[in-house]
Amino acid sequence: MLCGRSPKIPAFSSALCGSACEAACDALLSRYLCLMKTGSYSVLCIQRVLTDYRAAFFEKAYRLLAERGVTFQVLCGQQRIGEGLRDMADRVSCAVETRNYYGGPVYWTRDALSLARQCDLLIIEQANAPLHNQLLMMRRCLLRRERPKLAFWGHGQDFLYGHMRLLQAVWKKYWTCRADWWFAYTDRTRAILLSLGYPAERITVMNNSTDTVALRHALDLTTRPQLLETAQRLFPADAPAAATVTAVFCSRLVEYKNIPFLLEAAEQIHAVVPDFRLIIIGAGPLVGLVHEFCTTRPWCVAVGAKIGAERAVYFRLARLWLVPGAIGLEATDALAAGLPPCTVESARHGPEIAYLQDGRNACISPPDAHAFATRVIDLIRHPEQLDRLRDQALLESANLGVHAMAQRFADGAWACLTRPSRGVA
């Protein structure tokens, strides 16, 4: 076998060049041997739904792992009824479509147990809701099997619902520290894992991101006639090329995005700055509340869910990104579009809040609608401050994107595959 489970590569170079040359030569030879044989390892990642914002990442990761002779599959099912996600499984080469069975807050993904038996590395979300996670982890513990190796990816803790029952919290912490590897969303996740005693050398920080390169490309292709036509269609009462100040909200219309807060703050902003306009992009359970608000306020328009390049023209019309609820991946889109995110202090933010700094590339206010509106109004009245935030947002977005994220993921998966398991104790 050219590239087996634990290849032994002769350390033939130490006498010639010392330990540094030995390490370099061994690494090159190991990579060469593994490229000679495809399918030497297999990796399975289980995702509840393969959404639009993950499609490019998984496609890139699939190709990077294939270059190392690693078979990569993503097992995914359908969303809940009315959830408003964009399912992209049919456009991703490594997707294996199955069915999710939902029961309240928990669910079961069909085929998870059978496919997990066949892989060398299993990557699952750090969550209690997937019932198959619990059985997979219990099976690993009770049968004391070190294959497949087990890796988690995610936040490191539950930011949205931190009030878990004691038993849930203890169970989650127990398994958090027993995975063979961790794919941490950001440095904030890494800090959480280190505080729990998880070894630093087994953590890959992915810098969770959307496809910022594709977004910037779409923004660059947007023309002035497109902008004028869209602005006139959205706000027909405005004169062509009117000197308005437009903000955008782009996320799911769900409770944890603080939609009532957004609408209340927008009302206060418009009362002080009549030229203020708001474009709301997204779908979800609170879409009725948003449409009712917009009906009597022509300065606020809801355009429904948009993905990828569809959003570019709306982003180009805007100068600010309002997101008073829990920050997630929209932080990377906002930075890439040069739209400073305006949010509030909150323990419910995802780890992507690590990308934002108040007064540097974002505006972070106290969690009060009046305080939030006041900060936004201040930015509108001081365009030089807003321009400085916009410039810094664009600069720092260069470090984010799915290509770099996929490379880190592939490197981490390879490191986990080629190192000993942490065991099942």
| Domain residue limits, the chain | 35-209+403-417, 212-400
pLDDT value at position 175? 75
pLDDT value at position 30? 43
Pairing, β 106-109 against β 203-205 = unpaired
Domains 35-209+403-417 and 212-400 share a fold: yes
- For CA atoms 127, 132, 137, 141, the dihedral sign is positive
pLDDT value at position 18? 45
pLDDT value at position 6? 35
Q: Which residues contact 153 (CB under 8 A, 6 or more apart)?
A: 45, 123, 124, 125, 126, 182, 183, 184, 185, 206
pLDDT value at position 10? 33
- pLDDT score of 203 more than 80: yes
Which residues partner with 100 through β-bridges? 109
In the numeric block, which tokens belong to residue 400? Answer: 């984010």
Q: Please write the tens of the pLDDT for every residue from 253-307.
A: 999 999 999 999 999 999 999 999 999 999 999 999 999 999 999 999 999 999 9
According to CATH, the superfamily of the domain at 35-209+403-417 is Glycogen Phosphorylase B; (3.40.50.2000)
- pLDDT score of 422 more than 60: yes
What is the average pLDDT across 201-210? 96
pLDDT value at position 243? 74
Lowest pLDDT segment from 7-16, 43-52, 387-396:
7-16
Which residues partner with 75 through β-bridges? 46, 96
- pLDDT score of 314 more than 90: yes
pLDDT value at position 144? 67
Task: Give the CATH architecture of domain 212-400.
Answer: 3-Layer(aba) Sandwich (3.40)
- pTM to 2 decimal places: 0.83
Spacing of C-alpha 56 from chain mean position: 12
Question: If you average pLDDT over every residue of the chain, what do you get?
Answer: 87
Split at pLDDT 50, 70, 90, the class of 43 is: very high
Split at pLDDT 50, 70, 90, the class of 210 is: very high
Q: Which of 23, 5, 6 is nearest to 14 (CA)?
A: 23
pLDDT value at position 95? 97
In the numeric block, which tokens belong to residue 78? Answer: 């359908």
- pLDDT score of 35 more than 50: no
Q: Which of 425, 371, 416 is nearest to 153 (CA)?
A: 416
Split at pLDDT 50, 70, 90, the class of 141 is: confident
Lowest pLDDT segment from 231-245, 270-284, 372-386:
231-245
- pLDDT score of 393 more than 80: yes
Q: Please write the tens of the pLDDT for every residue from 58-91.
A: 999 999 999 999 999 999 999 998 887 889 999 9
Lowest pLDDT segment from 14-18, 113-117, 253-257, 353-357:
14-18
What is the average pLDDT across 144-155? 85
